[in-house]
Amino acid sequence: MSDSIVLRACGLKKSYHKDRIAVPVLRGVDLEVEQGLVTALVGRSGSGKSTLMHLLATLDRPDEGEVWFQGSRVDNASRAKRDQFRNHDIGVIFQFYHLLPELSAIENVLAPAMIGQSFFRYLKNRSENRKRAEAMLDRVGLLHRATHRPNEMSGGEMQRVAIARALMTDPKLLLADEPTGNLDTETGHDILMLLDELNRTDDLTILMITHDDEIAAGADVCWRMKDGLIEDNRAPQAAAA
């Protein structure tokens, strides 16, 4: 694998079963994500995009195929190794935020540190963890909402908290599944501007899954998906045409 390729999927297949009937979702997907770029994966609802993201994030396992991250295979790793991969190497944001409703914004951002560190290590590093969480909230413009719970925030604010949480462990790759899909146009634009800033200033590699060709047009690379397969890989402007 080239040093410039952060993430690679090779021949991924995935089916779900309804009674005795197998419903194929991914039919042999090959995908590469290059370091330092914003890569868009675009396709209509039902094309298999979210299933692919779950496999890339090791939230699920493929029926066939492999997922490689920085030269190491991760899809067949032990549960502990996959948990470590998600908690340290990548950040994931979802369309519906997945914040814990009983926690404040800063507690949600702290969650990866709570999960990724032992109890005693977390207590030892409590002050440092808190400062990191505050810095991430400040980065997304929400430090003033640190003590607010999700039901006290707008959709755009919740998505910003989700981004801050994903950045808590300083990931090498950010996976964003329809990050603007549940937001109004103006708020969605603000989220895209924030992701673009993170890519430019922090050299954060981003794979963004979307159904919107206009959003995909802002990426450095665009992969198009249809019926569980990658159709092509081309410049965003050509893909949007």
Domain span holding position 65: 5-240
**CATH code assigned at 64:** 3.40.50.300
Residue pair 69/77 in contact (Cβ under 8 Å)? The answer is no
The pLDDT profile of the chain, 241 residues, written as one tens digit per residue, is: 557 999 999 999 999 888 888 889 999 999 999 999 999 999 888 889 989 999 999 999 999 999 999 999 999 999 999 998 998 899 999 888 889 999 999 999 999 888 877 767 777 888 898 999 999 999 999 999 999 999 999 999 999 999 999 999 899 999 999 988 888 889 999 999 999 999 999 999 999 999 888 888 889 999 999 999 998 665 554 444 4
Number of domains in the chain: 1
Contacts of 24 (CB under 8 A, 6+ apart): 13, 14, 15, 228
